[in-house]
Amino acid sequence: MSARRPARGFTLIEVLVSVVLLSILASLAYGTLNYVRRSREITDAAFERMREVELAVHTMVGDFEQLEARPVRDLLGQTALPALLADPRTTNIVTLTRGGWPNPAGLPRGTLQRVTYRLDQGSLWRDYLTVLDATLANEPVRREVLKDVSTVTIRYMDSSRTWQEQWPPLAATPSGPTPALRLRPMAVEITIELKDGAKLVRLVEVPS
């Protein structure tokens, strides 16, 4: 009978080489996994930002599409304010009366809503009052619509198809076929510039 050969194990060099190879493969796998994870986070953040921007634009467009020719009293109850008021000299971007305010709870209120858009510390805000002819005792409900906004500008097309920077136009007469307080533009152009350099322009036709 032949003698049994002794069992041959791994040498120290082979073990070290195997450990090094496994470490390299593990490092490559971790780097790939980390890259995929970061890419997914960036993609998710981009989609979330896009959703926020689309929702903000949709909200503004909806307000202008349901613009109502309903003036309101000022907070002191002394003068009347136009249904649509946009004055570049004020801190507000635009204030308007809109219809179609949903009332699923059946509260004792109308469907008209007084809305104000303003830019404050890089954020676009939408404020609304729970009553049209409000007083100083009525606090507005404030909601942040969009963050990281540089500028928001709105132009208004009058009946002669001329773009105006404010509304009512300076040339509007207090009386006439349509009083200045009830005057509505034919269309509005909304321009939103974001801090990341993106620029959005939306043209909205206003119902007559």
Please state which CATH class domain 13-101+110-208 belongs to: alpha beta
Please give the Cα distance from 67 to 24 (Å, whole number).
65
Question: Is residue 136 a contact partner of residue 76, using CB atoms and an 8 Å limit?
Answer: yes
Q: What is the DSSP string of 137-149?
A: T-PPEEEEEESSE
- Residue 172: enclosing H or E segment and its boundaries? none
Q: Residue 182 has what DSSP assignment?
A: G
- Residue 151: enclosing H or E segment and its boundaries? strand 149-157
pLDDT, tens only, 69-106: 999 999 888 889 999 999 988 889 999 999 988 877 77
Please give the Cα distance from 71 to 22 (Å, whole number).
76
Residue 208 has pLDDT above 80, yes or no: no
Burial category of 156 from C-beta neighbours within 10 Å (exposed 0-12, middle 13-18, buried 19 and up): buried
Contacts of 183 (CB under 8 A, 6+ apart): 69, 82, 83, 84, 167, 168, 169, 172
Task: Give which of 184, 177, 161, 201 is closest to 86, Cα–Cα.
Answer: 184
Q: Residue range 25-42: average pLDDT?
A: 80
Residue 150 has pLDDT above 80, yes or no: yes
Q: What is the mean pLDDT of the chain?
A: 87
What is the pTM for the complete model shown?
0.78
CA 128, 183, 157, 88 dihedral sign is: negative
pLDDT at position 177 is 54
Residue 176 has pLDDT above 70, yes or no: no
70 is written with which tokens?
């309903």
Q: Residue range 150-165: average pLDDT?
A: 95
